[in-house]
Amino acid sequence: MSSRWNTARLALRRAGVESLVTVALRGGLRPFGAWQALVFFERDLTVAIPDVAAGIPVETRVVAPRELESYRPALEAAGLRWDRLEARAAQGDVCTVALWEGKLVHVSWVTVAGAWVPELRATLRPAPGDAYVYDAFTLPEVRGTQVQPAASAHLLAWARDQGHRRVTFYVRGSNPSALRIVEKTRARRTGVVWCFRPGHGDGAWMMGLRSRHGPRIDFGAGATVRSLGPAGLWVRHQPR
Ligand SMILES: CC(C)(COP(=O)(O)OP(=O)(O)OC[C@H]1O[C@@H](n2cnc3c(N)ncnc32)[C@H](O)[C@@H]1OP(=O)(O)O)[C@@H](O)C(=O)NCCC(=O)NCCS
């Protein structure tokens, strides 16, 4: 079975028709540029947060920036680059980890300062009172065993106890496994941002950013942003 057909089949089974359409569009437009749909969500922390037990016995923890160094070997063993993680801790971001028999099998990050959104080549800055979750990753060998939902329940309870009123995050419309997670966390969909980068170059058309309240998207000083009215934005980034 071709990998494209397999991806489409999984998208339909795991996340429904919308995900299948995104996967198809992305594949069809690939010769002309990079197409992506980013689906944004919020989780109201005043709504009850049920505990979730993973299918394997994991221990979940929130790691404060000052404790991160002691997790360095485990994070590097999971294939993560320390220099990137160090920069996150330096701006106060925390991570949630899941450990299985002492091995790190999941990590996800929380920030109030901001995080890079690669598809938009921009920094997302959360609104005051919000915590923004990014870069969730479960080791391939334990995917599908509810490790992420278990870690996420822990993270949400932590964020609530820190006084945050909501948690926001986005999921790629072409990522059916991540879209499935959303159903499990009782998050509310707040909008979709479409982005098309013709020729995979430095300019991109984006739509849906203006209608969303909440996080601010910061394209950086080197970018030029032109409004196309109701048709969205045209953003030209500094050449990489
Ligand atoms: C998305 C991700 C974090 C989910 O983590 P997880 O711990 O496997 O979470 P779950 O066990 O709840 O599985 C979520 C869904 O993935 C799908 N899934 C099941 N087995 C899978 C596997 N081996 N590989 C990929 N996805 C799988 C299933 O649809 C599952 O939901 P369901 O079992 O209720 O149908 C993980 O797939 C991952 O790290 N992916 C790569 C990075 C990524 O996409 N991050 C998300 C950025 S928003």
Question: Tens digit of pLDDT for each residue in 192-230?
Answer: 999 999 998 899 999 998 655 567 899 999 999 999 998
What is the CA(205)–ligand 1 centre distance, in A? Answer: 29
DSSP 155-219: HHHHHHHTT-SEEEEEEETT-HHHHHHHHHHT-EEEEEEEEEEETTSSEEEEESSTT--SSEEE-
DSSP 31-86: TTEEEEEEEEEEEETTS-------SS-EEEEEE-GGGGGGGHHHHHHTT--HHHHH
Enumerate domains of the chain plus CATH numbers: 2-236 (3.40.630.30)
Of residues 178, 228, 229, the one with CA closest to residue 204: 228
Distance of CA 145 to the CA centre of its chain: 19
Does the Cβ of 181 fall within 6 Å of ligand 1?
A: yes
Question: Tens digit of pLDDT for each residue in 68-102?
Answer: 999 999 999 999 999 999 999 999 999 999 999 99
Question: Which of 143, 179, 193 to mutate to test ligand 1, by most ligand atoms within 8 A of the CB atom?
Answer: 143
